[in-house]
């Protein structure tokens, strides 16, 4: 399996070992904000979508399998995704905290992550939720597909991805809320404003 690079080493004094998730529908700006937060907090941003795309690009066995789901806007099977995240979180740079972008997306993945963290005596610190307007994100995704040529940013796939998100992932928000981890931020503001609001939300622990 090939991997995407984490952003920064932990280990300096004063480093806070944040273990975070960023959630929100496709096109909410999770990837953009995850990169900014990771830099500010000196933790790696780990995007399951990016790891899958890197594997698709390198035509690994994992990539060939993942692509058949991604191109249809469906989720890659939980067992495959969970194994991939388990090995990524075991890497050295994730020991001092991490920001997961795009995982967990199903209840099975939430349980798998709970098990991974409890095995090392760790727990999540917060779940950051980007609140956005669904019509606006469809427009953003169509534009991104045109600009970046992402093969799953076609209008038909986008609709399916949003449906799958609404069916399987949106219900998980209530679970994080019950656990007292959820921090909601308005994802329709400017990129800088959203970053500032996310960092402020983390201070309210
Ligand atoms: P993303 O870049 O997060 O929008 O992910 C792009 C695609 O990768 C998704 O539409 C799924 O096909 C796949 N994917 C990413 N993360 C996951 C996950 N946690 N579970 C299952 N499939 C995923």
Q: How much of the chain exceeds pLDDT 90, in percent?
A: 76
Nearest CA to ligand 1 atom 6: 49
Average pLDDT over residues 15-20: 79
What residues does ligand 1 touch, defined as CB less than 6 Å away? 26, 48-49, 52, 69-70, 73-76, 81, 102-103, 105, 109, 152, 161
| Residue 146 among the catalytic residues | no
Given the residues 30, 59, 140, 159, the one annotated as active site: 30
Q: How far is the CA of 76 from the centre of ligand 1 (A)?
A: 7
Annotated binding residues for ATP, written as ranges, equal: 27-32, 144, 189
User: Residue 6: what pLDDT?
Assistant: 47
Q: How far apart are CA 73 and CA 80, in angstroms?
A: 16
DSSP letter assigned to residue 29 = S
Is residue 121 predicted with pLDDT exceeding 70? yes
Which residue ranges form the domains of the chain, and what is each CATH number? 19-199 (3.40.50.300)
Region of poorest pLDDT, from 94-103, 110-119, 133-142, 180-189: 133-142
Nearest CA to ligand 1 atom 14: 49
User: Residue 14: what pLDDT?
Assistant: 55
In terms of average pLDDT, the best of 7-16, 153-162, 183-192 is: 183-192
| Residue 42 among the catalytic residues | no
Query: Which atom, in ligand 1's list, is nearest to the CA of 105?
Result: 19
User: Residue 150: what pLDDT?
Assistant: 78
Confidence of residue 149 (pLDDT cuts 50, 70, 90): confident
| Residue 105 among the catalytic residues | yes
Q: How far is the CA of 13 from the centre of ligand 1 (A)?
A: 34
User: Residue 78: what pLDDT?
Assistant: 98
User: Residue 179: what pLDDT?
Assistant: 96
Region of poorest pLDDT, from 2-6, 30-34, 66-70: 2-6
User: Residue 30: what pLDDT?
Assistant: 95
Confidence of residue 17 (pLDDT cuts 50, 70, 90): low
Is residue 61 predicted with pLDDT exceeding 90? yes
What is the rounded average pLDDT for all residues in the chain? 90
| Residues contacting residue 203 through CB under 8 Å, at least 6 positions apart | none
Q: How far is the CA of 102 from the centre of ligand 1 (A)?
A: 6
Average pLDDT over residues 20-40: 95
| 18 or 149, higher pLDDT | 18
| Residue 19 among the catalytic residues | no
pTM score, whole prediction? 0.89
């Amino acid at each position: 399996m090939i991997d995407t690079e984490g952003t920064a080493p932990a280990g300096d004094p004063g480093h806070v070992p944040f273990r975070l998730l960023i959630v929100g529908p496709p096109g909410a700006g999770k990837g953009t904000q995850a990169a900014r937060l990771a830099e500010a907090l000196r933790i790696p941003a780990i995007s399951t979508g990016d790891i899958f795309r890197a594997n698709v690009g390198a035509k690994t066995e994992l990539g060939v399998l993942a692509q058949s789901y991604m191109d249809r806007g469906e989720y890659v099977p939980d067992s495959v995704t969970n194994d991939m995240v388990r090995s990524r979180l075991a890497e050295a740079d994730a020991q001092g905290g991490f920001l997961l972008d795009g995982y967990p997306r199903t209840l099975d993945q939430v349980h798998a992550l709970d098990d991974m963290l409890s095995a090392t005596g760790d727990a999540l610190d917060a779940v950051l939720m980007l609140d956005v307007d669904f019509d606006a994100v469809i427009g953003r995704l169509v534009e991104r597909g045109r600009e970046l040529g992402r093969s799953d940013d076609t209008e038909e796939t986008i609709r399916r991805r949003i449906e799958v998100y609404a069916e399987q992932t949106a219900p998980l928000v209530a679970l994080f809320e019950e656990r007292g981890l959820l921090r909601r931020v308005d994802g329709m503001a400017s990129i800088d404003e959203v970053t500032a609001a996310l960092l402020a939300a983390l201070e309210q622990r």
